[in-house]
Structure 1
Amino acid sequence: MQYPVAVALAAPVAKLPRGPHWWYEPKYDGHRLIMWRDEDTTRCHSRSGRTTTSAWMDLAVVGQAGLPPGTVLDGEAVVWVDGRLDFSAAQARGHSASRRASGLAAQYPANYIVWDCLMAKNVDLRGHPYTERRAALLDVLADVPPPIQPTPATDDPEVALAWYEHLPAQGIEGVVAKRGSSTYRTARIWQKVRHSETVDAEVIGYVGPAGRPRRAAVLLPDGRRVLSRALTAPVAAEVARLAAESGPGRQARTDDGEAYTTTGSGLVVEVEAGTTRHATVAVMRVR
C-alpha cells in the first residue's frame, strides 16, 4: 500500500437501505483522516491526500504510542464543544498551518473516530469484506485509549434509524450504510442518509485576490460552472493554497457569464444540494 491511499466514499440516498448483510454507522461532522502507523513514525493525510500530521499532532502522538507498526486506519477527526460536534473547529484545525496547530489543539482537542482498518500487521485488508475489516479494527484498537476510538456499528436498521432521528442534536449528520461483504475500493461503495444533503464539486477558479479569494468558481456534477457564495475563512484558505500552487490563471466566465480567474484542479468541496439549482452555490466544506 502506497502513501497516500485513495479513500472509499459514500453516495447519497433518500432512505436507509434495509435487508440482509447491511451494517450501519453514524455519520460524523468532522475532517476525514487517514492515519498511518509506520515502523518509526505516524503520519496523517486528508481525503485529498494532503499530509495533515502537524494539524492533528495530538492524535498522531496517541497513535504512535498505542498502535502497532504496520497499521493504516480510516476515520474522521472531530472536535466536541459543549457536548456537540463543532464542524467549524474541526475545519480550523484540519486546515491550520504548523505555527497555529499547537494553539488550536489546546483550544480544540480532537477525537479520532475510526470506521475502517485498511492495514494491520503490514497486511493489506482492502480486499477483505467489511465484517473482517471491522473485526480487525476492534482488535487493533482494543488497548488504545481515547481520543482514538472505533465508531459504533450495528446490523439492526431500527438502531440505525434511532441514531438518525435522535442524534442530530449532538452534531451527528446521519447514517452510513455498508454491505458486510463489501471490499474497500476507491469509489462510492457506501450509502449515506443525511439531514442536510450535499454534492461534490471541483474548484476551477476564484473571484478576488489570489491570496484572499472571496468566492470560488466550481464545476458541478451536471457540468455547469457556477460561482459560490462568500467563502468561509477555512475554505478561502484552501482555495488560496490551490491558486498559489497553480500559478497565474487566465480569465474565464461561468455559464451565466460571470468572470473568474482559473486555477488548476484537485480541490473538491461539498456544496449544499438545495443551492445547485441557482446561479450561485453554498460551499459547506473542503473534502
Structure 2
Amino acid sequence: MTLKPPLRVALAQTVGTLPREPGLAYEPKFDGHRMVIFREGDGVVLQARSGRIVTAAFPDLAAAARALPDGTVLDGEVVVWREGRIDFAAVQGRAAATPGRAPGLAARLPASYAAFDVLASGGADLRPRRYAVRRERLVELLADVGPPIQPVPMTTDPELAATWYETLPGIGVEGLVVKRLDQPYKAGTRAWRKLRHTDTRDAVVVGFTGSRRRPASLVLVLPDDDTPVVSSPLPPALRARAGAALAALPQGEQGTAMAVGLGEVPYRSVPPELRAEVATGTTRHTVTTVLRLKDEDQREKDEGRREENGDKDRA
C-alpha cells in the first residue's frame, strides 16, 4: 500500500524523568517544525503535522528530497540553524512563506531535515515493523543522500542519552524522545515519551485577539506543531507590552484558531517575528499561558549592553 498525504503522525507523552528500562532507544528532540516527506514518481510532497501541504514553502528541501528513492516516506523535524543553534522563529517564518517569498528565504535561511523515522520504503508500508527495523532502514536510505537530509542521532545507552540531555540545550535541543525498540509506528497516538528540560517552551506569535493596542490573547505556534492556538487571557501588564510589540508589525488577514473552552475564535494575523515564552500542558489543546515576550527581553539586554559600553567609553 502506497502511503499518501495527509498522514497522521505518531506523538509523544511528557515524562518527568529519564526512562531507563531495557529495550529503549533515545533521540535528541529538536525544536523545529514537524514534517513528513513523500517521494513518489517524479515528485515530492512535504506535509506539516496538521496535514497542511507545505512543499512550496520549502523549495530547498523539496529539491533535496528528490535524491530519495521512489516510494520513500520519512517523518522528521525541519530546523533552521543560525549562529550555531536552532532558530524556531526562523523555521516558522519559512513555513509561513508565500510561494513568491519562499526561494529568497531558502537562500537566506536554508533548512535542514532531521529524519527520525521511515514510514515507507519502495512503496511498502513500514509502520507495522519494529522501530529497530525501521531505524536500520532509515540509516541505509540516507547513507548516500547527505545534508540537508540526515537521520537524527540515536543511542540505546541511557548514560549517553543523559549526557545529551545535559549538554545539547545550548544548541536548541529541548530534550529527548524515547521509543521502544520493539514498537510499531502508532499514528495519532502518544506511544513515544518525551523528556524536556522545563515546562516552558518558546513559541512564535502569529496573531492576536481583541484590540491591537491591548490584545486579549496571543495566537501562537508551538514547536513540533503548525496549528495556531490561542493563549489564555493576558494579564494587564503583559497586554500593554504585547500591544507595544504588535504595533511594530504589519497587521495581516483574519483567521481562526482553537481557544480552550471556546472552540474556534477569530484573530488578526501578524508576521511570525515575535517570540514568547509559554507554559503548556501535555496534550494538544491544554491551556497555553504566555509568561513573557522574549524579543522584549532581548531588546532590554541589548540596550543594557549599549549603556554599559557607553559608560566604559566615558570612563
What TM bracket, shorter-length normalisation?
0.7 to 0.9
Counterpart in 2 of 1:267? Answer: none
- Map 1:1-287 onto structure 2 (within 5 A): 1-64=3-66, 66-185=67-186, 186-197=188-199, 207-208=209-210, 215-216=217-218, 226-227=232-233, 230=242, 242-243=255-256, 262-263=265-266, 271-273=278-280, 281-282=289-290
* Counterpart contact for 2:254–2:266, Cα < 8 Å: no
CA apart distance, 1:83: 0.8
From the superposition, tell whether residues 138 and 241 of structure 1 become closer, same or farther in structure 2 (CA, over 3 Å).
farther
CA apart distance, 1:260: 11
Deviations 1:209-234 (A, max 9, x none): 79xx873479xxxxxx933675998x
Deviations 1:56-97 (A, max 9, x none): 110110111x10110000000111111111111111111212
Residue identity in the other structure for 1:23: A
Deviations 1:120-139 (A, max 9, x none): 00000111111011011111
Counterpart in 1 of 2:301? Answer: none
Distance 2:253 2:216 in 1: 10
Distance 2:7 2:288 in 1: 33
Distance 2:94 2:216 in 1: 21
Deviations 1:148-178 (A, max 9, x none): 0000000000011000101111111111100
Q: Provide the aligned length of Structure 1 versus Structure 2.
A: 248
From the superposition, tell whether residues 217 and 142 of structure 1 become closer, same or farther in structure 2 (CA, over 3 Å).
closer
CA apart distance, 1:280: 7.4
Distance 1:157 1:209 in 2: 49
Distance 2:291 2:103 in 1: 27
From the superposition, tell whether residues 207 and 263 of structure 1 become closer, same or farther in structure 2 (CA, over 3 Å).
closer
From the superposition, tell whether residues 13 and 137 of structure 1 become closer, same or farther in structure 2 (CA, over 3 Å).
same
From the superposition, tell whether residues 91 and 150 of structure 1 become closer, same or farther in structure 2 (CA, over 3 Å).
same
From the superposition, tell whether residues 92 and 183 of structure 1 become closer, same or farther in structure 2 (CA, over 3 Å).
same
TM-score for the superposition, normalised by structure 2: 0.70
SS in 1 for 2:31: coil
* Counterpart contact for 1:217–1:226, Cα < 8 Å: no
SS in 1 for 2:135: helix
CA apart distance, 1:2: 2.8
Distance 1:25 1:76 in 2: 12
Residue identity in the other structure for 1:92: G
Identity %: 44
SS in 2 for 1:173: strand
Distance 1:217 1:88 in 2: 14
Bigger CA radius of gyration? 2
Query: Which runs of no fewer than 5 residues in structure 2 stay unpaired?
Result: 202-206, 221-230, 268-276, 282-286, 293-315
From the superposition, tell whether residues 113 and 260 of structure 1 become closer, same or farther in structure 2 (CA, over 3 Å).
closer
CA apart distance, 1:208: 3.5
TM-score for the superposition, normalised by structure 1: 0.76
Residue identity in the other structure for 2:127: R
